[in-house]
Structure 1
Amino acid sequence: MEKPWQDEFAVGDAALLLQFGERVDAAVNERVHRVARAADALLGCGELPGVWGVIPSYTTLLIEFDPLTIERGEILVRLRRGLARSESEVLPARRFRVPVWYAGEDLAAVAERTGLSVERVVELHTSLDFRIFTVGFTPGQPLCGILPEPLRLPRRGAPRAAVPPGSVAIAGQQVTVYPTASPGGWHLLGLTPAIPFRAQRQPPVLWAPGDLLRFYAVDQAHFERLQAASARGEEWLCASA
């Protein structure tokens, strides 16, 4: 079968980088994760000895391995063989409805800078599904896209030292939900009770790359009820599939 990546590069002597495209795109990202799933399946049945890391991102897949156990070329051969076996596999994306109390510190400023009303900002933000391209920066943090053109703004000039957990934020063409209190320079639109990462939860991470998030607006009272449910461990009430 034709390889789904454009090019491959050595990253030192113990890693291999597969390049699938040059820009953030849902179709490109789906190819990244299809190959990542194939690699994980091969790892699960012992067909990639020496490989210890499979790390997907927006347009690339990094494979980390022990060069004393397996060669880079052999990884590519086995990976293409595994892809051929799973070529017909189509996994439907998981979809989640995520409640947001749109009262973020930057909501009014975003409306002013984009020339939109606050109501229109919320309407656009809740108008489509956002694909999780990758998870990172902090544990479980979803990096999603693609934001409608009228809402796209560069990051804040001065990042905040601490952004509250559950903050729903935008920057460029992306959307994220902060899992923990952390520094951040994105524009805060609101808060969700659906916290992406809790160490004591099983599994700890709420969403995975390839999942689709659809935000919807709730008022403060509804948010607080769901926040209480989330604190009790009933996270599914806050991010229903």
Structure 2
Amino acid sequence: MAQDTVLIVDSMNYIKGFRYQMYCAAREHKLRVCTIFVVATQDQCKEWNAGRDEECAYAPETLENLLMRYEEPSSMVRWDSPLFTVPWTDNDVPIDDIWKAITEGNVKPPNVGTQAVPKAPTDALRTLEHVSTSMVAAIMSEQAAAGGFGGLVTLPLSATLKPRVSLPSRNITLSELQRLKRQFVTVHKKAITLGTTEKGAVDWGEESVADKFAVYIEGNLKP
């Protein structure tokens, strides 16, 4: 699949679930799509099958099963549209309309259900837990040293990681911070394990996690 390629899937595509899967793939790649339904009667299909070499023909019971399970495309559903229905005996194929559909038709953008979901790095959970735990310990240490005056404090987690957070002018209890830490980890754990649909790259590095947790603390600590 590519935006500079016309891809023709010449297949039975006989169940709507498979056609829907191709439709989703096309949306993910921001491609136009159309369905061409070549109509032949069941008797004609059986006649063609009977005329095949034995090694290429369907067994009669298999062909009957395929005919029974076949789900015709419909212009009423988005994954079959635009739909061009062409009888097998019709020589008047709407080539111009088909070409226009695949070269000028609307391109439907990816949605939450079709867009690729970026996965977090394998150490993201460890980083989330480690950074938030270290920040809780650092806040308690800074508060003890400053006497609980609050304000903007710098948390020296490492030589390169020194997030800043504004604290209220009161003594913050360890249970408060641990509760916020558990909530913060829970909120972000799902995005790490299942992926996130946020636009752009999502940074799960130590600095980014520390900044997120600092904002979370500032927004959820009572004055």
Q: Which has the higher strand share?
A: 1
Q: TM-score, normalized by length of structure 1?
A: 0.25
Q: Which has the higher helix share?
A: 2
Q: TM-score, normalized by length of structure 2?
A: 0.26
State the structure with more CA Rg: 2
